[in-house]
Structure 1
Amino acid sequence: MDYSTTNLRAIKKMRLERHWSQEQLAEMSGLSVRTIQRIENGENAGLESLKSLASVFETNITDSNKKEEIEHIRKQEEYVQNVKGFYGFLALAIFSLGVFFIIALFDSDSEGWFLFFYMLIFYALALGVAYLKIFDFFGEDWKRKLIDKKFKKK
């Protein structure tokens, strides 16, 4: 059984061939009915969900090109976690800069402003590096565009 997005819908066919309801499949696999519904509609499934379904349908998830699909799913989940982490870090930066700005406003000497600008520079650099890494600014698409631009036939 291939776990590509289009063939995730094949789970419904296999379930119906066995005359199982979604509730029965959910109970046998340990998944929720909602998860079964999403998978049958072709939405991405997590690795653990795929393993559970493979066990119920008595198939091996590591057959043929399933490893590529599993790796693709893992990368998607990792990307989502990285983006969530970036936005969490951005929220932390905004909050702490706000605190340092308020401290600087009420500070009688210039130490508060020094601390504020020091933190502003730190967060700007850290967020910039995180942005470039997480959103793959210099990734494969960028490399391909650069090569195409340089060696474009005239």
Structure 2
Amino acid sequence: MNTINVREIKKMRLERHWSQEQLAEMSGLSIRTIQRIENGGNAGLESLKSLAAVFEINIIDSDKKEEIEQIRKEEEYIQNLKGFYKLLAIAALSLVVPVFVAINDSNWSFFLWMLFSWAVLLGIYSLNVFDFFGEAWKKKMIAKKFKKK
């Protein structure tokens, strides 16, 4: 993919012989937004993403670089945090099993251990299924880490 500056959008549109109306329709933006961007006005991140998809490029705007980098860092942090919690749950299960088997050293111990293991694994899986780590949790963790309000 090529990269391009926001200020070259009009040039790219004209090279393709597209009208502002056509670009607006393809990008899902309003004609007024296209006009504002082409005249050097501010473009929101979502507008830039829409235009990048239409032109099949990465759009670079010095004003947006920091915002894009911050979003990338936040997403990476959330993925790492989710992985940590999942690993912590698996580690807890692997530590509890030997203790459980030692305490219940009888004919039922294997059955109870299997039942307990399945219950824990289903519990861990249900965290994802029932969206425990959903958008509200994600926003809370990002706000906590990056001190957003």
Q: How high is the TM-score relative to the length of structure 1?
A: 0.38
The structure showing larger relative contact order (alpha-carbon pairs under 8 Å, at least 6 residues apart) is 2
Q: How high is the TM-score relative to the length of structure 2?
A: 0.40
Question: Going by fraction, where is strand more abundant, 1 or 2?
Answer: 2
